[in-house]
Chains A and B, each alone.
Chain A
Amino acid sequence: MTNTSLTVHDVSKRFGTFAAVDQVSFSLAPGERVALLGHNGAGKTTLFKMILGFLPNDNGKISVLNTAPGSDDARLGTAYLPESVAFPTALTGREVLSFYARLKGQKPKSVMHLLDRVGLADAAKRRVGTYSKGMRQRLGLAQALIGQPRLVLLDEPTTGLDPISRQNVYELIGEIADHGATVLLSSHALTELEVRTDRILILSKGQLVADDELSRLRAQAGLPIRLKIWTRPGAAEQVADQLGNVDRSRMNGQSLELDCGIDEKVKTLSAISALSHLVEDVDVHAPSLDDVYKHFSQTAQKEV
């Protein structure tokens, strides 16, 4: 058997005439952290539900930990955190975690350290109703860590969280992956993913339009680097004439912007430094994940 945690091969799902997921194929290796990007309704949750065996796929084949989705073996090795989950407010964090530990065949005592790991040790005996949104999400993550799963599916784990809570969530995800588990998470919040994922899948209107490392996706997209130059007062025109290729619509007396390809970056920067008596500062904007994502999802939509 091949060493993959999850294989999705040529999978489609239609609701009536609407193709929620359309001929999607990819596979994930152990220890990989993979982000699944897509706008609302792109088919992320539908894909998750098929991987979990809640929805039958119309065609194609899904293999979870080398077994069928939804089988006991698949469920034993898989952890899942849904997009929005509201635990019973009357129960305490400890009781909620014990409940899921028992369902997963673990002793409640053996999972209590997870509350510590997600920073909820102090709140363990408080009712979930008194928790903040970030705390509830962390409780959900603690649930997803029970029994050392080999495949962890997180549906928008950081939506609605403040920056600090997001940091915590990504630290935890890093820890899970370090233990050899595959993490597949979907997200809207793109920029924060850049340094924290090994691979990115982009889903647009049910189709997988990109599947690669971010740096290579950047190269594939061929998006220009944008340089913003601040000049001495009144010198903008002169600099623009010298450099050429300047976006005149985004120019004013003190600053100008120009786009250049990755291969021309060094050449352009040295041309700018040659004008150092006129230039005060330079900002280099590499295309962000947002730009890359926009590029791929828009290209896909134009083709349709």
Chain B
Amino acid sequence: MISRIMTVAIQELRIGIRNKWILLATIILAAFSFALALLGSAPAGTLGVDRLTITVASLASLSVYLVPLIALLLAFDAVCGEIERGTLLMTFSCPISRPEFLIGKALGHSMVLIFALVVGYGSTAAFLIATGSGSVSGLIDFVRLVATSVILGQCFLAVGYILSCLTRQTGTAAAAAIAVWLILVVLYDLALLGALVANPSGFFAAKVFPYAVLLNPADAFRLFNLAALNASDLVGGMAGVAETLPFDPVLALASLVVFAGAALSIATVLIRRITP
């Protein structure tokens, strides 16, 4: 079982290396994090807060946009692409179970994501530490950011697999993936913000809003990271929410994990029902 899962995972990682996907993702993450680190250095110097911590706060907001996008692009053709190419027929005629296949894919794509995050963000952290503006406590924040980014990525990988199982066509799956990204990452926030502005002290703001933030993995990710930094005063925005929450921010981390698990379970149910 393990060896079949690893076979699929390693094949996926190898394809990611060959078609330069892993390189592209790493360069994008490195370039954006570098830019944020350099731009963010101006205020940090006067506030006396660790520069690495400030950078992590900026990177958390960056991750919310980039990581789901990279994950969806990795995952959207995992099933329907293989149906179109005919390789799924061949793979499923081998003695591998469908959950094994899906978990192998998820593992392979996670490895691509982990590499891109560790190397991409890591090069920025290394730069900050090398120039004497990072500390060990900042490094812990940094590790937390990378780890939670991986979980966030896995949430959207699983969403990508669900779309891939449902659509059967790569073109449709790609469009659906972009739509999901737009809705969960961009429009969801705007809608919540709009509702909050319209009625800042009503029932929605007090009872619905915090849980609505919890339900969306992108928001839950940002909430957890910014709350854990204790740096809400520095970065403002959504982070201010953390202090007024009716629950422990760790719940946001739990929400992320539950979302990833649930989405992967749904994808597993769907892939069992597919006729390749």
Contact = CB atoms under 8 A, between A and B. Distances in A.
Interface of A: 49, 52, 54-55, 72, 75-76, 78-88, 90-91, 95, 99-100, 102-105, 127, 140, 143
Nearest to B4: A103
B91 A103 contact: yes
A77 to B, nearest CB: 10
Given A54-B275, A90-B15, A103-B94, A82 B7 contact: no
B89 to A, nearest CB: 4
Contacts of A55: 275
Interface in B75-130: 85-87, 89-96
B95 A91 contact: no
**The 3 nearest A-B residue pairs measured at CB:** A90-B18, A85-B86, A80-B93
Contact of B89 (A54, A78, A99): A54
Contact of A80 (B7, B8, B89): B89
A85 B7 contact: no
B19 interface: yes
B18 A100 contact: no
Contacts of A105: 95
A80 B19 CA distance: 28
B89 A103 contact: no
B275 A75 contact: no
A140 B90 CA distance: 9
Contacts of A54: 89, 92, 275-276
B87 A49 contact: no
B14 interface: yes
Contact of B95 (A75, A85, A90): A75
Given A91-B18, A103-B4, A103-B7, A80 B90 contact: yes
Interface in B1-31: 3-4, 7-8, 11, 14-15, 18-19
B15 A84 contact: no
A86 B95 contact: no
Given A99-B11, A100-B91, A127-B18, 10 more contacts: A52-B89, A52-B93, A82-B86, A86-B85, A86-B86, A87-B87, A90-B15, A91-B18, A103-B8, A143-B90
A257 B3 CA distance: 66
A95 B17 CA distance: 14
17 contacts: A52-B93, A75-B95, A79-B93, A80-B89, A82-B90, A85-B85, A85-B87, A85-B90, A88-B87, A90-B18, A91-B18, A95-B11, A102-B7, A103-B7, A105-B95, A127-B18, A143-B90
Name the residue in A49, A91, A102 with the highest tally of chain B Cβ atoms < 10 Å from its Cβ.
Answer: A102
Nearest to B7: A102
Contact of A103 (B15, B18, B86, B95): B95
A76 B275 CA distance: 19
A90 B15 CA distance: 6
A283 B15 CA distance: 57
A72 B276 contact: no
A104 B94 contact: yes
Name the residue in B90, B91, B93, B95 with the highest tally of chain A Cβ atoms < 10 Å from its Cβ.
Answer: B93
Nearest to A105: B95
Contacts of B89: 52, 54, 80, 82, 85
A86 B77 CA distance: 14
Interface string B133-163: 0000000000000000000000000000000
A236 B91 CA distance: 62
Contacts of B15: 88, 90-91
Nearest to A73: B95
A83 B86 contact: yes
Contacts of B8: 103
A49 B275 contact: yes
A52 B94 CA distance: 10
Contact of B14 (A87, A95, A102, A103): A95
Nearest to B92: A54
